[in-house]
A = this chain, B = another copy of it.
Amino acid sequence: MRPTVHDIAAEAGVSLATVDRVLNNRPGVRTVTRDKVERAIATLGYIRDVAAANLAKSRSYPLIFILPEGENAFMRGLEAEVQSAMARSAVERTDVSILSVPAFDASALADALDEARRRGPAGVAVVAVEAPEVVAAVGRLREDGIAVVTLVSDLTGSEREHFAGVDNIAAGRTAGSLMRRFVGGRDGPVAIVAGSMLVRDHRDRLEGFSAAVNEGAAKRQLLPVVEGHDDPSEVENLVQDLLAAHPNLTGIYSLGAGNRGLIAALEKAGRQSEICAIAHELTPYSRAALVSGTIDALLNQDAGHEVRSAIRVLKARADGLSMIEAQERIRIDIFLKDNLPVEPV
């Protein structure tokens, strides 16, 4: 039987309440007493039963997730993950709500952050747009002692406690490395389609890709980046133009969303097998395109992991506890059609 608070109390010759005070280092204990208790804890090798502690506390954590609206399939998947976290809220003692904001709109996002602040939650998770007003709004939340984590896209220079997302420079590098090997000896330029250079994750991916795709010998021509604002029809038009302008195009890297447009343009032009397409995020559309061969490789961040990680970190920070950095690191998954996980994703 592992030792309990009773055992420590007995060993140290004090009451349960004192043991509890020491355990949660609350004030009102003389140093000598504290030492006695700590010695007892050490000799008995006590480990606190977190479940029992939570039961006794019956504490709950009001958390707000701020997500971009629109038909971006990845973001909708992310929202679904937040929703299933809401379903678990009973057992996780958390009280999660969602605030939707227009995509790529810094001032709307800043307003939403202020609205979240008004509601006084224990923590806020936000898909950031990089802008000074957003940084400032995050600062106000932190002043009120509200924990903040950025989700998917980070916010440079802000006071956020943690970033729950992937290393996007590495993700871009991975895409570049795959592109280089997949196109092999074939000639012709490679195109890059981004969402917006306003968000950190897209800028980082571009940087990584550009560096890795031309590592080693061959210098392949990279076409100037075009921005499709994660909108399928805008992306479709852009890709259509690219295809028309470059009959010898060998590859397309789509580093943002709106992949439905990419897929449609490639298939309408009938050039899906000659062009190596690499994109991000596993959605029903991109999955189908990977299976059919229109897309050759997909990089993914596990939205479920990101949401769960954000919640863990937010809860820990709300309690003033620290987190295990390495454990919360989100992986960059590579999917080919052969190692596609089972549906639904």
Which of B90, B170, B178, B181 is A2 in contact with, Cβ under 8 Å?
A: B90
Inter-chain contacts of A90 with B (CB < 8 A) = 2, 47, 49
User: Which A153-192 residues sit within 8 Å CB-CB of chain B?
Assistant: 170-171, 173-174, 176-178, 181-182, 184-185
**Bound Cα distance A115, B50 (Å):** 34
- How many residues of A are in contact with the other chain, CB < 8 A? 37
Q: Are B339 and A171 in contact (CB under 8 A)?
A: yes
Inter-chain contacts of A337 with B (CB < 8 A) = 177
Inter-chain contacts of A50 with B (CB < 8 A) = 91
Interface locus among A122-130, A136-144, A326-334? A326-334
Inter-chain contacts of A170 with B (CB < 8 A) = 338-339
CB A208 to nearest CB in B, in angstroms, measures 8
Interface string of A22-64 (1 = CB under 8 A from B): 0000000000000000000000000101111011000000000
Inter-chain contacts of A52 with B (CB < 8 A) = 51, 55
User: Which A318-345 residues sit within 8 Å CB-CB of chain B?
Assistant: 326, 329, 331-339, 341-342
The residue in A50, A174, A335 that gathers the most chain B C-beta atoms within 10 A of its C-beta is A174
Q: Are A331 and B333 in contact (CB under 8 A)?
A: yes
Q: Known A55-B55, A181-B181, A184-B184; judge A49-B91 contact (CB<8 A).
A: yes
Which of B55, B176, B177, B341 is A331 in contact with, Cβ under 8 Å?
A: B341
A242 CB–B CB distance under 8 Å: no
Which of B49, B332, B336, B341 is A55 in contact with, Cβ under 8 Å?
A: B49
A: which residues have CB within 8 A of B?
A: 2, 47, 49-52, 54-55, 90-91, 170-171, 173-174, 176-178, 181-182, 184-185, 208, 212, 299, 326, 329, 331-339, 341-342
- Contacts A49-B55, A176-B338, A334-B334 aside, 18 further interface pairs with beta carbons under 8 A come to A2-B90, A47-B90, A47-B91, A49-B90, A49-B91, A51-B51, A170-B339, A171-B339, A174-B338, A177-B336, A177-B338, A181-B182, A184-B185, A331-B333, A333-B333, A333-B334, A334-B336, A334-B339
28 contacts between A and B (CB under 8 A): A2-B90, A47-B90, A49-B55, A49-B91, A51-B55, A51-B91, A52-B55, A55-B55, A171-B339, A173-B338, A173-B339, A174-B338, A177-B336, A177-B337, A178-B336, A181-B181, A181-B184, A184-B184, A184-B185, A185-B185, A212-B338, A326-B342, A329-B341, A331-B339, A331-B341, A334-B334, A334-B336, A334-B339
Give 8 nearest A-B pairs by CB, closest first: A184-B184, A51-B51, A174-B338, A334-B334, A173-B338, A332-B339, A174-B339, A47-B90
